[in-house]
Structure 1
């Protein structure tokens, strides 16, 4: 009897598919088998593009003369030992005589298509292929997908785009990385990793860091007053001085003069404007907007949010496919909206909002349904199936809650506010006041926001709940004061703001025509942006400091040295993403794109060879050694007072600590005072989770110096105690030991 082989992307998906196919299925090593179907799976990417030395042994050595490397035909290799085992299982199933047909059940998108295409080619398979296209892992969705399998030939253009992206990244990344590393090997530790996506992303972060470093704070003053409407002390409100639209005062003398002029004076309410503002519900989530909101609300990294959304789709089956760039639904999904609301309304937290949606005779669909704005996948919404939430982790529950409330809110009416703007004039000085009241909660009621939270603007002041006021009323100045402020530098990027910058990278392009072309693209794709951020951290270009993404000296130097090379520009990757989309749509030939990539790689090698040939970045000098007084110099692995020419005293601070490279600033602080004043972020525990801790410099009984975690609570996942309970002994001991060693060394010197 002939059988159909189903290849899923992960084992868990394979097991789910078995639930909707005729069984029973017998569990075997790496696959499941029934009378009519065999189900096996990849484990993500089993197969990848081969390294250069697979084409020629000479490429094991990195030499400029061998660049660029552009294979005429790309070779594929199995990823690692773990992958080899499962790849052998997949290959055996593909070559079985009783298997006549193959179903590609990998994730429905460019990356899933690539995973299948690579393993199918590597296995040497020739059998006919059909495509299973899933946006939801519910039973009904899987049954429907099996009933409407698509011919494999329909996926040829998607596969061409997937292969083009993979091969283009290999060509550009491999050649640029080798060229830069060869020329900068004396200045940097390890490879200088470059790529057509990660490098422009790094450029965005480093340019912000350069702006922060160049920023010079300037003082300014604000003048605030508290007023009482005449006759009733309870009618008090606050105002801030404005000169026209500007609240900032440039000198302390001018601010003091205003304070003196209005102190104790009675003014008049010279303007009172009331307006009504309506606020529409936000659109449904795509992956990037979900990641940005989760970072803002919970501090989740983009990768952490994606992992939770993927589990909710794949394991718990309560959300639709998350790797989407659409915020709309298609018209054929309209009949599912109310049943989906009924399923989420079974949970007490969502019942009221869900009942509102299901009770509507006519759903407001104009901002929800748009076939033209849905590509491979629609917006992320709850699935039309019963939702079991008892096994959701905290992360999963938070992301689920965000998606459910957004789905329900989009069908609710607008929120309505009354805005009030008051101007109080005292001795010819005008003070502005803003009031804002939420009149109708509308969609905000889905989030439990029955009152609008007060907005406090650094310069404009806060929104207030105002008493009843009338134009022309007298207002007594009860209190007035000047506040000294300083201008602040631009904020460092967080995951949320960086994702926004990557998505809207076209705005950073000067060329008007290209900027228009890029309005629907950006750096990377929703499915890859989280991995790009983590890649920059892994290669030491960026560090996390709380929620902030901070460029390291290595990251800064890489972008400085590239000096506006096209690799640093978002226009390059934005243009390529658009061309890949055209390949997917059949509007551009894959070969033309790849020829252009090869030409760009050749040009890039030539430019980097010439630009970086004589570059030497001096190693950091951290000042005198606390033990022997000799200069401590940065080297490849640490900061020490010894070198090949002079062994020094042996004092060293190693860079590597719990998965993090200690930067120069931390080493300087340890040398100066024996401990760090603040917690250092970015350490990784054995399970891979991040934690933060203070560091202390300590000396062992054998006399060797080492950096240790200063708090007993510096354990993965542990919370710090109150500040007064943090032990100081390690830091004090380190500092005393350094001072004692220095005194002994001084006493033993001839000068003494």
Structure 2
């Protein structure tokens, strides 16, 4: 009897799989072998779609006449030399005469299916295949999966959807990027990167940035008063805000001052008091996107950082189930595991009380937990039914584990119950409104001890909402103890964070907060839970977006690209959401892959034509930065910097290079440096030697030789020390004015 070849996605997974298989395994270069099994692995994607010049040498040159490029059959190539070594091992194993069968043990999802399919195809293998499908990496789960291997034919549609997604990204990205770059290469430094998913995501961020820049702040005034009932116990003070009808904002300081003068030192009456009870359901279990959003909100984790922690908790520590899931429900066949899992996590004291409640229930409330129709590839992220050694978890891993465990326990707890109080206090003809909220029954919130569950910050108009109110009665007379007005200004829309952008991507750019409504829109989101973090990082890597704390800021380059594309369909979140929905339909057998790919090819051709016509004669005007501080000539922006010299007039040679520590300096930054000598606020988006981003102030400094150089203003940034926030500031490079960039290390030397 021949041997069975098992192909995993990573070496660590391959080693874990051998523990569930019979016999002793001997270690070899790139694989492990026993008497009955050979276990080898990819290292992520070993194989990728070929570049255009693999089809025809003419595509080495980027020419509009050669577009669109739509291969009749896609070619596969090994990614690089490192991949080639392991690919040769897998190919050799697949062609062994003593291997009769192959088990696809790559990650159980669309991407894992594609990794195996491409590897198998590139190796030219023909042997029968079965599928190992895992949602948990515990020994028990692995053994059960090996005992119930599934035929590869069950996953043919999943493979079709995976191939369609990748090929569609290639066709749209390759053609749109080439067409835009050909027409805009004189305007932008480097290629203009466009893509089926990244461009509509960039459009969401860019349009918010445009709203912020177009926003004109307007002043307004609010009037707040502190009241105290005339009779009864003292100390029953509360705060109310003046409202004219439903509006608290006053347009002039005179109006506010008149109200303050009228009510100051006066008395009034509680003319309205309403109490209502509101029940708040526990949130649904986590899928990857909701986990990433909450970790960003609570801890400031980027989407990529959260995914990395969740993946470690699944693969290495084996304490969480498969994280790259889009489901927030469990299948009915897992009902029997719920109490055992709760009992297991309850052995840790911080979860003991909540776990005891769940295990003590005679009947589990399953309405918001079990839904077979909403579990496709994988169920929601929950703790595994195995020993959890929490002392070995890093700080990031511990936080993500805690989120998932508390959410799992909370979903089986009753509603939280609040008493909401709304009252109106009338002084003369002026009405002041007050809102209060008291938690009457903790319910599921008790699982958290309220930790990390602060209410969303109220707006300026409602900052007195949710105060804890004393006992008050309608009709009570009150005295005005304090009253004052305060001037405010209207605020622009907030920039997207990872959390809010992930939410917008999940609902194709629509603002949706309700859990159930978000569930209904998932199939039409931009990208998938597994790819959204990479898309955000891609936008940062190509210079379209920068991080500023938790905010994602669109750069001048990103704004320029979206502005030039105008309302092209490639920028439409709804179009991309529709494509994602069609990929889901392919996966479910409801749409033909051929029809989808034909539509993608047609779209790519139309995009090339549109970009050719739209961008043919466009030249982005270069910014004039004002007079040179050395010679007085105008400093003008060019592709690589801001200088007073040009083709006709060499000027004095003064130049500020755009590239600095992994960032392209915007015209506004250069203008501030030229006019003021330094930036008033820290500039974001620099990259340290470790690759981590940081922010720092800049200064224009003159060397002893008389040359000018842009330097970091703060000593910690210049010297590669650690900043107060603990970010990694060590600059990768320092941009000079009038000279080439030099490394921070050589500067220090």
Common fold by TM > 0.5:
yes
Contact 2:300–2:550, Cα closer than 8 Å, also in 1: yes
Q: CA deviation at 1:678?
A: 2.4
2:144 aligned residue: 144
2:190 aligned residue: 190
1:445 aligned residue: 446
1:422 aligned residue: 423
Task: Work out the CA distance in 1 between the residues paired with 2:363 and 2:521.
Answer: 37
Q: Helix, strand or coil: the match of 1:324?
A: coil
Q: Helix, strand or coil: the match of 2:202?
A: helix
Q: CA deviation at 1:583?
A: 1.3
2:337 aligned residue: 336
Contact 1:518–1:575, Cα closer than 8 Å, also in 2: no
Q: Helix, strand or coil: the match of 1:192?
A: coil
Task: Work out the CA distance in 2 between the residues paired with 1:172 and 1:689.
Answer: 31
Q: Helix, strand or coil: the match of 2:390?
A: coil
User: Which of the numbers 649, 655, 671 marks the counterpart of 1:668?
Assistant: 671
Structure 2 CA distance for partners of 1:450 and 1:711, relative to 1, 3 Å: closer
2:205 aligned residue: 205
1:700 aligned residue: 703
Task: Work out the CA distance in 1 between the residues paired with 2:403 and 2:12.
Answer: 25
Contact 1:421–1:433, Cα closer than 8 Å, also in 2: yes
Contact 1:227–1:475, Cα closer than 8 Å, also in 2: yes
1:719 aligned residue: 723
Structure 2 CA distance for partners of 1:635 and 1:252, relative to 1, 3 Å: same
2:42 aligned residue: 42
Matched, 1:79 2:79: yes
Q: Helix, strand or coil: the match of 2:14?
A: helix
| Residues 322-361 of structure 1: per-residue CA shift (max 9 Å, x gap) | 1111111111111111111122112221111112111222
- Greater Cα offset, 541-550 or 638-647: 638-647
Q: Helix, strand or coil: the match of 1:697?
A: strand
Q: Helix, strand or coil: the match of 1:459?
A: helix
Matched, 1:485 2:488: yes
| Residues 518-563 of structure 1: per-residue CA shift (max 9 Å, x gap) | 6642111111111111111111111111111111111111111112
Structure 2 CA distance for partners of 1:717 and 1:143, relative to 1, 3 Å: farther
Matched, 1:496 2:477: no
Paired residues for 1:115-264 under 5 Å? 115-231=115-231, 232-264=233-265
Task: Work out the CA distance in 2 between the residues paired with 1:197 and 1:631.
Answer: 40
Q: Helix, strand or coil: the match of 2:240?
A: strand
Task: Work out the CA distance in 2 between the residues paired with 1:718 and 1:338.
Answer: 47
Q: CA deviation at 1:597?
A: 1.3
Task: Work out the CA distance in 2 between the residues paired with 1:451 and 1:712.
Answer: 36
Contact 2:176–2:194, Cα closer than 8 Å, also in 1: yes
User: Which of the numbers 449, 457, 460 marks the counterpart of 1:458?
Assistant: 460
Contact 1:268–1:475, Cα closer than 8 Å, also in 2: yes
Structure 2 CA distance for partners of 1:357 and 1:518, relative to 1, 3 Å: closer
Q: Helix, strand or coil: the match of 2:272?
A: strand
Contact 1:240–1:461, Cα closer than 8 Å, also in 2: no
Task: Work out the CA distance in 2 between the residues paired with 1:631 and 1:217.
Answer: 32
Contact 1:408–1:446, Cα closer than 8 Å, also in 2: yes
| Residues 427-485 of structure 1: per-residue CA shift (max 9 Å, x gap) | 01111111111121111111112998576431023221111111111000111111111
Contact 2:104–2:131, Cα closer than 8 Å, also in 1: yes
Q: CA deviation at 1:298?
A: 0.9
Matched, 1:594 2:608: no
| Residues 725-750 of structure 1: per-residue CA shift (max 9 Å, x gap) | x9xxxxxxx99xxxxxxxxxxxxxxx
Contact 1:3–1:38, Cα closer than 8 Å, also in 2: yes
* Structure 1 unaligned blocks of 5 or more: 510-514, 727-733, 736-752
Q: CA deviation at 1:131?
A: 0.6
Structure 2 CA distance for partners of 1:608 and 1:516, relative to 1, 3 Å: farther
Q: Helix, strand or coil: the match of 1:166?
A: helix
Q: Helix, strand or coil: the match of 2:155?
A: helix
Contact 1:506–1:518, Cα closer than 8 Å, also in 2: no
Q: CA deviation at 1:685?
A: 2.3
Structure 2 CA distance for partners of 1:594 and 1:245, relative to 1, 3 Å: same
Task: Work out the CA distance in 1 between the residues paired with 2:187 and 2:242.
Answer: 54
Contact 1:541–1:553, Cα closer than 8 Å, also in 2: yes
Contact 2:524–2:579, Cα closer than 8 Å, also in 1: no
Contact 1:506–1:519, Cα closer than 8 Å, also in 2: no
Q: Helix, strand or coil: the match of 2:586?
A: helix
Task: Work out the CA distance in 2 between the residues paired with 1:529 and 1:695.
Answer: 33
Contact 1:641–1:651, Cα closer than 8 Å, also in 2: yes
Contact 1:438–1:452, Cα closer than 8 Å, also in 2: no
Q: CA deviation at 1:716?
A: 7.6
Q: CA deviation at 1:717?
A: 9.0
Task: Work out the CA distance in 1 between the residues paired with 2:720 and 2:336.
Answer: 47
- Greater Cα offset, 178-187 or 651-660: 651-660
Matched, 1:400 2:401: yes
1:283 aligned residue: 284
| Residues 17-73 of structure 1: per-residue CA shift (max 9 Å, x gap) | 111111311111111111111111111111000000111111000000001111111
| Residues 127-182 of structure 1: per-residue CA shift (max 9 Å, x gap) | 11111111110111111111111111111111111111111111111011111111
Contact 2:242–2:248, Cα closer than 8 Å, also in 1: yes
Contact 2:523–2:580, Cα closer than 8 Å, also in 1: no
Matched, 1:650 2:649: no
Task: Work out the CA distance in 2 between the residues paired with 1:255 and 1:549.
Answer: 37
Q: CA deviation at 1:318?
A: 0.8
Q: Helix, strand or coil: the match of 2:251?
A: coil
Q: How many aligned residue pairs are there?
A: 720
Q: CA deviation at 1:500?
A: 0.7
Q: Helix, strand or coil: the match of 2:716?
A: coil
Matched, 1:686 2:684: no
Contact 1:506–1:574, Cα closer than 8 Å, also in 2: no
Superposition misfits of 4+ residues, deviation over 6 angstroms: none
- Greater Cα offset, 648-657 or 575-584: 648-657
Contact 1:4–1:37, Cα closer than 8 Å, also in 2: yes
Contact 2:229–2:236, Cα closer than 8 Å, also in 1: yes
Matched, 1:575 2:578: yes
Task: Work out the CA distance in 1 between the residues paired with 2:563 and 2:725.
Answer: 42
Contact 1:627–1:651, Cα closer than 8 Å, also in 2: yes
Task: Work out the CA distance in 1 between the residues paired with 2:609 and 2:452.
Answer: 61
Structure 2 CA distance for partners of 1:409 and 1:684, relative to 1, 3 Å: same
Task: Work out the CA distance in 2 between the residues paired with 1:418 and 1:453.
Answer: 17
Matched, 1:100 2:104: no
Structure 2 CA distance for partners of 1:517 and 1:311, relative to 1, 3 Å: closer
Task: Work out the CA distance in 2 between the residues paired with 1:508 and 1:334.
Answer: 34
Structure 2 CA distance for partners of 1:453 and 1:636, relative to 1, 3 Å: closer
User: Which of the numbers 684, 709, 713 marks the counterpart of 2:712?
Assistant: 709
2:324 aligned residue: 323
Structure 2 CA distance for partners of 1:219 and 1:656, relative to 1, 3 Å: same
Q: Helix, strand or coil: the match of 2:461?
A: coil
User: Which of the numbers 566, 569, 579 marks the counterpart of 1:566?
Assistant: 569
Task: Work out the CA distance in 1 between the residues paired with 2:201 and 2:116.
Answer: 29
1:350 aligned residue: 351
Q: CA deviation at 1:230?
A: 0.5
* Structure 2 unaligned blocks of 5 or more: 513-517, 730-735, 738-749
Q: Helix, strand or coil: the match of 2:391?
A: coil
2:5 aligned residue: 5
Task: Work out the CA distance in 2 between the residues paired with 1:721 and 1:153.
Answer: 53
Q: CA deviation at 1:706?
A: 2.7
Contact 1:682–1:691, Cα closer than 8 Å, also in 2: yes
2:532 aligned residue: 529
